[in-house]
């Protein structure tokens, strides 16, 4: 379908040389790639390329002869916050001590199969292996760089977080290392605290005993470091029992039908903060799931629920009494109304 761009002279229907006043003028010969013939409407060869719109138009009559023209310019990509528009290399990452900016000699290129394909002899392969060792040692010559390498390895291997949250944990650890907070403290403990706090900020349920076991630190040390790091970085957040519902339902293999009575029960007690505030959120979640599982006909024992929630049966029974008492008061008040 023929189109004409607004603002152009669309009244011309004959070649310029045949029109009155144009007999002494020589038509222009402006061509672009793929368009060297005269315009089929006005007969002029005066093509314009608009890279913003991606169109090729006739400069005389405004006829659009091609749309969606690829931009021949470079596709600049800025991965960082600076003005560098380099198109090479991967974006910066906090999960590597050098942020991924240094070059690396990959050990996979120096094994027998790969080196043979590249035409590298056994003698050259030994020399390149020696160079690789020297290169790796030169990158971790400073104690702070070695510290970051170890911490990032902990986060990648033991955190169990998705890649974006690993980046955030590594960034927090780098901030603490720069401020001198890590000096005299366990690398595993600080990385575990960063992992727990990032998961809590993103409402991804992680229990302190599970994180402590993954990073091979004690629960007491991890709890203390979590308090210190949260004060240092101002990462205070109250965890609600509802954040543990999905995890506990999955661990107990409960049916999806438990969600509706569980949400109704949580909506009933949530306004009454004096009942559940100050209690372990895992314990409150365990008590609500225990009551809801009995309601939907898929009961779980108190022992099973307590094992998943890492609370004692005494704590669970105490919370059940509080919840039952609150529900009875609500029903009595509704009966009087």
pLDDT per residue of the chain (337 residues) written in tens, 0 to 9: 445 554 444 444 444 444 444 444 444 567 777 777 888 888 888 888 887 788 888 888 888 888 887 776 666 655 555 666 665 666 677 777 767 667 777 777 777 677 777 777 888 888 888 888 887 777 666 777 888 888 998 999 999 899 889 999 999 999 999 899 998 899 999 999 999 999 988 888 888 888 999 999 999 999 999 999 999 998 887 778 888 898 899 989 999 889 888 998 888 888 887 777 778 888 899 999 999 998 888 889 999 999 998 889 999 999 998 888 888 888 888 777 6
Residue-level pLDDT at 334: 79
Is the C-alpha dihedral spanning 221, 226, 231, 233 positive or negative? positive
Collapse the DSSP code of 42 into the 3-class scheme (helix H, G, I; strand E, B; otherwise coil) and give the result: coil
pTM of the model: 0.59
Q: Are 108 and 128 in contact (CB under 8 A)?
A: no
Tell me which CATH code domain 1-73 carries. 2.20.25.10
Largest CA distance in the chain: 105
Residue-level pLDDT at 47: 86
Pick the CATH number of 241-336 from 3.30.470.10, 3.80.10.10, 1.10.472.10, 1.25.40.10: 1.10.472.10
Is 287 exposed, middle or buried, given 0-12, 13-18 or 19+ CB atoms closer than 10 A? buried
Nearest to 122 by CA among 112, 109, 130: 112
Q: How far apart are the first and last CA of the chain?
A: 73
Is 308 exposed, middle or buried, given 0-12, 13-18 or 19+ CB atoms closer than 10 A? buried
Q: Are 233 and 175 in contact (CB under 8 A)?
A: yes
Give residues with Cβ within 8 angstroms of 302, minimum separation 6.
290, 313, 316, 317
CATH class of 143-233: mainly alpha
Give residues with Cβ within 8 angstroms of 132, minimum separation 6.
105, 107, 110
What CA–CA distances, in Å, run from 255 to 44, 201, 293, 294, 330? 74, 28, 9, 12, 28
Residue-level pLDDT at 75: 61
CB atoms under 10 Å from CB of 100, counted, come to 15
Q: Could you tell me which residues are beta bridge partners of residue 30?
A: 46
CB atoms under 10 Å from CB of 191, counted, come to 28
Sheet with strand 3-4: strands edge to edge: 3-4, 63-66, 55-58, 45-50, 29-30
Q: Are 40 and 12 in contact (CB under 8 A)?
A: no
Residue-level pLDDT at 7: 45
DSSP β-ladder status, 63-66 and 3-4: antiparallel
Residue-level pLDDT at 90: 65
Residue-level pLDDT at 92: 74
Q: Are 139 and 97 in contact (CB under 8 A)?
A: yes
Q: Are 306 and 289 in contact (CB under 8 A)?
A: no
**Cα gap 281→81, rounded to integer Å:** 39
**Cα gap 54→80, rounded to integer Å:** 28
Residue-level pLDDT at 191: 94
How many residues does the structure list for the chain? 337
Kind and range of the H or E element at 261? helix 259-269
Q: Could you tell me which residues are beta bridge partners of residue 55?
A: 50
Domain boundaries, the chain: 1-73, 107-139, 143-233, 241-336
**Cα gap 165→42, rounded to integer Å:** 61
- Domains 143-233 and 241-336 are alike in CATH topology: yes
What CA–CA distances, in Å, run from 267 to 56, 126, 234, 248, 288? 62, 67, 29, 18, 11
The packing angle between helices 143-158 and 208-215, to 10°, is: 120
Residue-level pLDDT at 195: 94
Q: Are 165 and 202 in contact (CB under 8 A)?
A: yes
């Amino acid at each position: 379908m023929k189109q004409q761009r607004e603002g152009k002279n669309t009244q011309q229907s004959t070649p310029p040389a045949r029109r009155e006043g144009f007999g002494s003028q020589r038509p222009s010969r402006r061509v672009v790639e793929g368009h060297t013939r005269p315009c089929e409407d006005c007969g002029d060869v005066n093509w314009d390329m608009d890279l913003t719109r991606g169109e090729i138009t006739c400069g005389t009559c405004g006829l659009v002869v091609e749309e969606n023209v690829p931009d021949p310019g470079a596709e600049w990509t800025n991965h960082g916050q600076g003005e560098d528009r380099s198109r090479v290399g991967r974006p910066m990452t906090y999960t590597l001590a050098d942020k991924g900016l240094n070059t690396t000699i990959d050990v996979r290129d120096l094994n027998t199969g790969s080196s043979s394909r590249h035409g590298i002899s056994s003698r050259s392969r030994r020399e390149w292996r020696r160079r690789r060792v020297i290169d790796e040692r030169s990158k971790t010559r400073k104690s702070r760089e070695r510290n970051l390498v170890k911490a990032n390895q902990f986060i990648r291997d033991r955190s169990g977080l998705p890649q974006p949250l690993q980046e955030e944990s590594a960034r927090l650890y780098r901030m603490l290392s720069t401020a001198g907070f890590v000096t005299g403290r366990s690398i595993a403990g600080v990385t575990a605290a960063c992992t727990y706090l990032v998961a809590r900020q993103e409402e991804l349920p992680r229990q302190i005993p599970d994180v402590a076991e993954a990073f091979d630190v004690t629960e007491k040390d991890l709890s203390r470091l979590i308090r210190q790091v949260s004060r240092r970085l101002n990462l205070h957040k109250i965890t609600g029992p509802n954040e543990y519902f999905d995890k506990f339902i999955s661990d107990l293999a409960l049916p999806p039908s438990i969600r509706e009575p569980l949400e109704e029960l949580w909506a009933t007690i949530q306004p009454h903060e004096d009942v559940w505030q100050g209690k372990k959120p895992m314990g409150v979640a365990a008590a609500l799931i225990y009551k809801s599982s009995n309601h939907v006909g898929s009961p779980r024992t108190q022992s099973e629920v307590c094992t998943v929630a890492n609370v004692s049966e005494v704590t669970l029974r105490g919370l059940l009494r509080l919840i039952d008492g609150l529900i009875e008061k609500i029903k009595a008040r509704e009966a009087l109304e």
